[in-house]
Amino acid sequence: MKIHGSCHCGFITFEAEADPDKVSICHCTDCQAGTGSTFRTNVPVAGASFKMLSGEPTIYIKTTAESGNHRAQAFCPRCGSPIYSTTPGQGQQAFYMLRVGTLRERDELTPKRQNWFRSAQPWLAALMSVPKNEKGAA
Ligand SMILES: [Zn+2]
Ligand SMILES: [Zn+2]
């Protein structure tokens, strides 16, 4: 399916083709720190389908603790929204892991797999029983 992305401030916009069956969550501690949240939701896209329409992300190279692999983490230089990760290098890479929260079609991109579940926050399973507001905190 065609997907359309934008960072929080709108500086960076992009589009790509994604397979909704490939959406996954990562609970690893790198993703917790990198999102400032509890887990990251990703969908991979082929580099050939990934087009930046505006803006240029800042790239940060991270050595992942477990594998020792290097990953290029792209985020908006103005608002800090995470955009994607990919293999380090110049030019188009083979695949990009897009951050689903930046995608207009996020409601249709439901996770099919959870990775690094051993690092998942233990309170996640009970989240639906936590009191809810339909809008922001009252
Ligand atoms: Zn931005
Ligand atoms: Zn992760």
* Nearest in space to 83 (alpha carbons), one of 95, 65, 96, 71: 96
Per-residue pLDDT reduced to its tens digit, 86-133:
999 999 999 999 999 999 999 999 999 999 999 999 999 999 999 999
Task: Calculate how far, in angstroms, residue 138's C-alpha sits from the geometric centre of ligand 2.
Answer: 32
Strand partners, 42: 24, 99
Residue in 31, 28, 37 with CA at minimum distance from that of residue 120: 28
Q: Which residues surround ligand 2, an ion (CB under 5 A)?
A: 26, 28, 31
How many residues are recorded in the chain? 138
CB count within 10 Å of CB 23 equals 21
- Token pair 């190279």 is found at 61
Ligand lying nearest the CA atom of residue 11? 1
Residues with CB under 5 Å of ion ligand 1 are: 7, 9, 11, 76, 78-79
pTM equals: 0.93
